[in-house]
Amino acid sequence: MSHLTKMQLAVIAPDYVSDVNTAKQINDFKLKDINGRIIWLSQFSSVDILIINIWSAGCPVCRTEIPSITELDKRLAHNSRIALVTIAVADSFDDVAAYFPKGTNLRILFDAKNRVGEGIFKTTKYPETFILDKQRRIRARFDGSRQWHSDAFLTYLNSFL
């Protein structure tokens, strides 16, 4: 990652980074999406990098980062190698719809019992964002909000390709 400046790294500053030899493997799981369809993690097997953003509807910081997450999703829309999925600790879109612009295209999955966040990712605070590689190993974790749509974060993502 030598192509990132110290200032850029300070902006993105992952709280955890792992190499391919020590990264935790994430097993396949399923959650419902905004339309009630079952979505499996394995459905994203064609992408090289998967960003998983786990947040809670009751978390004020989570709500303030939604515009940045939404903008990141727009910036990634034409990149077939990287995908973004958010997992809301909420029952359904009705619980969080007010936080999103009408017609949002963001992939939002729902984990009302937090079995994926706590059980699989070991989430301890919200929001937490994970970078998974092609083999679905956790390569980085970010605690709290960031400027997700920044050029620095996009450069960081591309360093995993």
Across the range 82-92, mean pLDDT stands at 96
Report how far Cα 83 is from the mean position of its chain's Cα atoms. 9
Domain residue extents for the chain: 6-158
- The neighbouring-strand residues paired with 50 are 83, 132
pLDDT at 3 over 70: no
Q: Is the pTM of this model over 0.85?
A: yes
Condensed to tens digits (0 to 9), the pLDDT of residues 26-45 reads 999 999 999 999 999 999 99
**Measured between alpha carbons, how far is 82 from 101 in angstroms, rounded to an integer?**
22
Nearest CA among 12, 27, 57 for reference residue 132: 27
Across the range 41-53, mean pLDDT stands at 97
pLDDT at 10 over 90: no
Single-letter residue type at 148: W
pLDDT at 159 over 80: yes
CATH number attached to the domain at 6-158: 3.40.30.10
Report how far Cα 124 is from the mean position of its chain's Cα atoms. 15
